[in-house]
């Protein structure tokens, strides 16, 4: 797959092209934690997770335990021994600062790095915390996210629409495809007010233009697959949008331009311009902003190719 080097952003419906200024902030590579698909935001004052040289994602014991529902009384610290003990249900993890070996339910487990102390918090690879506390842990490279899974997949909803006062019309992920063979799969979609902690965390990670003018942000993880027999692209060669998001009659949400994801050859965590040969696909994130003064009535997703369009509402505002 050839990704274009254009400085034009991905366009969807009423999108205005904006030139990108490449200026990656220090926190560009901060990993994201998701619990059962939902973004978990590091509280103010808590140290952020980080990645060490061996590509291990280090997480604070307290932060991850809190994200997994562990009460404060079940997070204990022994200053003399420099040990932290976490208990979640029948699972107990004991970690000693400076040691590779941790105890999980009384049995020794050797990690691939030592436990570190940072800003008053104990950090170990996130996988060992989650697995030690009895949950499934996966890494989603395209979004740089650690996924903690506490439920069966059939029980997980990869959206927060009900939390935001919407009726969910379709359970994600869902797929729509034009008759010509352009297939869009939406794996997850989360809607936030731009004043929320979750939205501010996304803004810190991606540095969206026009974020300060927006009321709402929708972040989607998707796969676009090209089986049309032709090249499909969105760039300066072809400015026709291939998918879009509607929010009320006659109103679409604007794709959010990230100012820090400008390495088109190596960075697929946030899509901008793309070019897909026949048979190719890309999985990435994209955000949409409500930059109007109007409230969102519904979330609709459409796929366009040539003369055909597929469209589906996935959520509606509760009356």
Same fold, 38-154 and 166-317: no
CATH architecture of 38-154: 2-Layer Sandwich (3.30)
Does this model's pTM top 0.85? My answer is: no
Q: How far apart are CA 138 and CA 148, in angstroms?
A: 7
| Residue 270 binned pLDDT confidence (cut-offs 50, 70, 90) | confident
Is-contact 32 143, C-beta < 8 A? yes
The pLDDT of residue 104: 97
Q: Are 184 and 243 in contact (CB under 8 A)?
A: yes
Of 251, 269, 262, 252, residue with least CA distance to 243: 252
Q: CATH number of the domain at 166-317, out of 3.10.450, 2.60.40, 1.10.357, 1.10.150?
A: 2.60.40
Domain boundaries, the chain: 38-154, 166-317
Beta strands in 166-307 (DSSP E): 166-168, 174-177, 182-193, 216-226, 232-234, 243-248, 251-252, 254-255, 274-276, 281-290, 298-305
User: How far is Cα 123 from Cα 141, in angstroms, rounded to an integer?
Assistant: 21
Tell me whether the omega of the peptide bond preceding residue 99 falls within 30 degrees of 0, making it cis: no
Residue 61 and residue 117 in contact, taking contact as beta carbons nearer than 8 Å:
no
Q: Is 208 exposed, middle or buried (0-12, 13-18, 19+ CB in 10 A)?
A: buried
CA gap 66, 201 in Å, rounded: 18
d(CA 208, CA 26): 16
Tell me how far apart the alpha carbons of residues 18 and 15 are, in angstroms, rounded to a whole number.
Answer: 9
Please give the pLDDT value at position 78.
96
Map residue 154 onto helix, strand or coil: helix
pLDDT for the residue 20: 28
pLDDT digits (tens, 9 = 90+) for 80-99: 999 999 999 999 999 999 99
Residue 270 in contact with residue 205, Cβ under 8 Å? no
- pLDDT score for 287: 93
The 10s digit of each residue's pLDDT in 109-165 is: 999 999 999 999 999 999 999 999 999 999 877 677 899 999 887 788 899 999 999
What token pair was written down for 316?
A: 């509606």
Instruction: Report how far residue 108's alpha carbon sits from residue 100's, in angstroms, rounded to the nearest whole number.
Output: 10
Confidence of residue 261 (pLDDT cuts 50, 70, 90): low
**In sequence order, what are the beta bridge partners of 34?**
39, 147
Confidence of residue 13 (pLDDT cuts 50, 70, 90): very low
Output the pLDDT for position 264: 46
Q: 212 — phi, psi (to 5°)? A: -70, -10
Sign (positive/negative) of CA torsion 83, 87, 92, 93? negative
Closest CA to 134 of 74, 65, 188: 65
């Amino acid at each position: 797959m050839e990704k274009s080097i254009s400085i034009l952003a991905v366009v969807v419906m009423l999108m205005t092209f904006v030139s990108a200024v490449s200026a990656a902030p220090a926190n560009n590579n901060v990993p994201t934690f998701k619990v059962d698909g939902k973004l978990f935001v590091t509280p103010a004052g808590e140290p952020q997770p980080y990645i060490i040289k061996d590509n291990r994602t280090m997480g604070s014991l307290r932060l991850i335990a809190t994200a997994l529902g562990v009460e404060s009384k079940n997070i204990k610290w022994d200053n003399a021994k420099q040990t932290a003990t976490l208990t979640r249900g029948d699972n107990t993890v004991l970690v000693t600062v400076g040691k590779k070996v941790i105890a999980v339910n009384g049995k020794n487990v050797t990690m691939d790095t030592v436990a570190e102390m940072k800003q008053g918090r104990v950090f170990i690879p996130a996988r060992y915390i989650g697995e030690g506390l009895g949950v499934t842990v996966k890494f989603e490279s395209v979004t740089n996210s650690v996924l903690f899974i506490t439920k069966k997949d059939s029980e997980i909803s990869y959206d927060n629409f009900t939390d935001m006062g919407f009726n969910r019309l379709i359970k994600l992920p869902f797929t729509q495809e034009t008759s010509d063979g352009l297939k869009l799969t939406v794996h997850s979609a989360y809607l936030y007010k731009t004043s929320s902690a979750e939205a501010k965390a996304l803004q810190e990670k991606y540095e969206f233009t026009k974020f300060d003018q927006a009321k709402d942000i929708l972040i989607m993880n998707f796969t676009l697959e090209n089986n049309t027999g032709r090249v499909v692209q969105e760039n300066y060669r072809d400015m026709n949008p291939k998918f879009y998001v509607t929010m009320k009659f006659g109103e679409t949400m604007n794709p959010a331009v990230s100012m820090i994801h400008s390495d088109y050859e190596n960075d697929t965590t946030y899509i901008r311009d793309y070019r897909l040969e026949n048979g190719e696909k890309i999985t990435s994130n994209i955000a949409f902003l409500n930059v109007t003064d109007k409230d969102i009535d519904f979330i609709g997703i459409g796929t366009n190719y040539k003369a055909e369009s597929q469209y589906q509402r996935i959520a509606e505002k509760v009356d």
